[in-house]
Amino acid sequence: MNTDVVTRNEALQAALAQEPGVRAVFLTAARFEGRAIDVVLVEAEPYVSLIELRVRAAASGVFAVPPAVMTARTLRLGEGNSESLDRERIDDLLAAARRRDDLLLFEAPVDACEAMIAQHVEELLSLKPVGATDDFFMIGLDSLAAIQLALFIDDKWPGRIDSRSVLEAGTIRALAKAIAAVAPPFAAETAGEPETARADNPRSA
C-alpha cells in the first residue's frame, strides 16, 4: 500500500455499501498503542453503526483479523480527486475520530475466559465478531441478554455473577476480570468446566 495516498477499496465498498448511509470506503494501515492495525475509513451518515460496519467488513473476506472501523460525515476528499486520501488527511481523520468515539478498535480475547464469554455473546446476539473491549450497550446487549449471559456464567461458577454485575462490567474484558476476582484461580485448562467438576478433580486443585 502506498504510504502517502490511500485509494478507495472496491471490495470493501461492495460489502459495506449494503449498509444504508455509506458513501465511500477506504482501507489504510495505522499504528495504535505500538501495534499495526488495518483501519476501514467510511464516509457515512451519522446513524450508521460502527458495529454493523465491522461485521460486514469482517465478513468481506478481505481480513484475517477483524479491522478497526472509523466513520466520518465527510472525508473531505482532495479537490479534483474523489478516489484517494493523502496520509496527512488520514492521520487527522483518525485523531478526530478517536476524540469523538467514532473509531471502533477490535480487541481479540486474550485468555480462555474472555474467549468463552465472547463466543457466548456472539451466539446470544447473532453478531460476529465481538471484541473483548466492545461496549455492551453498543453491541446491543440489553437487560434480557445480560440475564441470559449471567445464567450461562452461573452454570460455570454458581452464585458468583448476576445480571446486574454483567451490565456493570460493560465489556467482556471487565466481566472476565470480575469472574476471576470471585472465582480464583481461573486456569485456561479449566475454563470450560463447572466449578463443581473442578473441585472433584484433584489435578485442578
Could you tell me how many residues make up the chain?
A: 205
Question: Do residue 47 and residue 120 come from a single domain?
Answer: no
Residue 52, C-alpha cell as written in the block: 454493523
Specify the pLDDT at position 83. Answer: 66
CATH for 49 = 3.30.300.30
Higher-confidence residue of 5 and 165: namely: 165
pTM of the model: 0.78
Claim to verify: residue 70 and residue 28 sit in the same structural domain: yes
Q: Residue 202, preceding bond cis, omega within 30 degrees?
A: no
Whether 57 and 134 map to the same domain: the answer is no
Would you state the pLDDT for residue 195?
Answer: 42
Are 180 and 139 in the same domain?
Answer: yes
The DSSP bridge pattern shows strands 84-86 and 22-32 to be: unpaired
Q: Tens digits of per-residue pLDDT, 95-139?
A: 888 888 888 999 999 999 999 999 999 999 999 999 999 999 999
Residue 178 and residue 162 share a domain:
yes
Question: Strands 35-44 and 22-32, how do they pair?
Answer: antiparallel
Return the pLDDT at 194: 42
Look up the CATH number of the domain holding residue 191.
1.10.1200.10
CA angle 26, 83, 34 (to 5 degrees): 35
Grade residue 84 by pLDDT with cuts at 50, 70 and 90: confident
75 and 116 co-located in one domain: no
Same-domain pairing of 146 and 78: no
Are 37 and 19 found together in one domain?
yes
Do 19 and 73 reside in the same domain of the chain? yes
Q: Which of 104, 125, 147 is the last residue of a domain?
A: 104
Same domain for 161 and 87: no
Report the alpha-carbon distance of residue 76 to residue 12 in Å, rounded: 19
CA distance 183 to 70: 37
Count of structural domains, the chain: 2
51-68 tens-digit pLDDT: 999 999 999 888 988 999
- pLDDT, tens digit, for every residue of 23-51? 889 888 887 778 888 999 998 898 899 99
120 and 198 in a single domain? The answer is yes
Residues 30 and 55 in one domain: yes
Quick one: how many helices (H) and strands (E) in the chain?
9, 6
pLDDT at 173: 96
Residue 82 has pLDDT above 80, yes or no: no
Domain span at residue 53?
Answer: 5-104
Q: What is the DSSP letter of 188?
A: G
